[in-house]
Amino acid sequence: MPNVIGVRSTGQAISEERLVRVVDADIGLLEPDLAPLITMLNFGQKQRKRTPSPRFEHFEDDYVARWAQNGSAAVANTTASTTVTVVDSTLFVVGDLFVVPKAVTSSTAPEVCRVTAVNRTTHELTVVRNVGAAGVDTISASAALRLIGDAHEEKEAIGTSKTTTPAKIVGYTQIFRTVAEFTKTQIASEVYGAATGDREREHKKKLREHKQKLNGAALFGRASESLTGGASSRPIRTTDGLLARITTNITNAGGVLTRKVFESFARQAFRYGKSEKTLLASPIVISAINQWATQFLLVKPSEKRFGVSVNEVQTGHGVWLLVRDWMLEDGVTGQSGFAGQAFSIDLNELFYRYLEDNGLNRDTKLTENVVQDGSDGVVDEILTEAGFQIKQEKFHARLFNCTDYSA
């Protein structure tokens, strides 16, 4: 082992990685309800994953389409009308069967059509009408077409493959830095309100603020990477958040949230993924749920799950672990905020990715005296390089525009 010449300082301890530091588990458990999503992601190892690169990717795929749409021209209700011009002909191959759903008030079965030819240029389908002799219906303009399988003749030649293209989703780690700076005179001085010193008091406060930064990014962030975007023309990256990632499974509360709209939101939220999810909700949405719990919703009392206080809300479609997040709050006086929002989250599809490789872990840590410039003071820093990986957007859902609720 090499000798150290001169005075030992915290510099040696830092370089030896022997300085006591606050790491991920501690920050995750610190004030668990302050930034609940971060607490939940840090509480169990399943949602925590290392990444050896500041870029992490995954691919998402779906099954071939179940629904298609007729174009702008109606098709007459005769067996001689065999040309159907659809919006997207790539959804069909020869042999496909589809039905045209009737109005919800109709009790009769819809007509079945079989595709015999597809023109990819004009998006025209040639079809056999009235398969099974259930009757011929008018296919109205823009009508929904439900694909129900395929049918082929005996010893027919091999058909045309129909597949989907997996989509690549790229995420990034973001560098979060929270600094606390002190003069050594301040550190050595006794102050009121901080029995163990002002430096330790400030550390606790900065750790809470740092945790809130992570929580804010998980909610409101948007993935980006600029390789020369920093002030010194070096890379700067931002991580993805739920608000930007959830783009299809969105329910508009319409201002006054009703039980009917809330039930519609539940149907959408549990359409894909697990039957138990987390509902990260604003205070007003929680007030609505508590109001309905007296008569219409089954809400079990609060308990600790994933390190935070939750209520269990049972719906006809699945179970939500209800968590309040105070970040979903009003903006400054008279301005917009996020108070009308709620996020249904499938935690099996949401991960906290921290950068680690080559013996260096960039997960959350507090480093004391990080700047050693000979000044009569110290600079301490909490640093995290991590990002959020939100898989399968359809497994999550979002409710917005809730300004009040019906009793």
DSSP line for 5-70: PS---HHHHHHTT-S----HHHHHHSSTTTSHHHHHHHHSGGGEEEESSSEEEEEE--PSPSEEEB
Q: What is the pLDDT of residue 198?
A: 87
In whole angstroms, give the CA distance from residue 162 to residue 64.
Answer: 7
Cα dihedral 61, 63, 66, 71 in deg (nearest 10): 40
pLDDT band of residue 341 (cuts 50, 70, 90) is: very high
- According to DSSP, residue 242 is labeled H
Percent of the chain with pLDDT over 90: 71
DSSP 175-219: EEEEEEEEEHHHHHS--TT-TT-HHHHHHHHHHHHHHHHHHHHHH
pLDDT at res. 308: 80
Q: How far apart are CA 150 and CA 95, in angstroms?
A: 5
User: Is pLDDT of 113 > 50?
Assistant: yes
- Tens of pLDDT, residues 265-287: 999 999 999 999 999 999 999 99
Look at the block and give the residue holding tokens 């550390």.
203
Question: What pLDDT shows up at residue 30?
Answer: 55
In this prediction, residues 111-124 reach a mean pLDDT of 97
Measure CA of the first residue to CA of the last residue in the chain; give whole Å.
Answer: 73
| Confidence band for 23, pLDDT divided at 50, 70 and 90 | very low
Q: List pLDDT tens digits, range 288-306.
A: 998 888 776 677 766 767 7
- 12 vs 130, residue with greater confidence: 130
Q: What is the crossing angle of helices 198-220 and 36-43, to 10°? A: 90
Residue 398's SS3 state is strand
Which residue type, as a one-letter code, is found at position 398? R
Beta carbons of 310 and 379 less than 8 angstroms apart: no
Percent of the chain with pLDDT over 70: 89
d(CA 3, CA 13): 14
Report DSSP state, residue 142.
T
Please report the pLDDT score of residue 3 as a whole number. 67
The residue type of 50 is: R
The predicted-structure confidence for 131-175, as pLDDT tens digits, reads as follows 999 899 999 999 999 999 999 999 999 989 999 999 999 999 999
Q: CATH number of 1-60+165-407: 3.90.1690, 3.30.70, 2.60.40, 1.10.3470? A: 3.90.1690
What gap in Å lies between CA 229 and CA 237, rounded to an integer?
9
Please, how many CA atoms are within 13 Å of residue 137, restricted to the half-sphere of its CB? Answer: 20
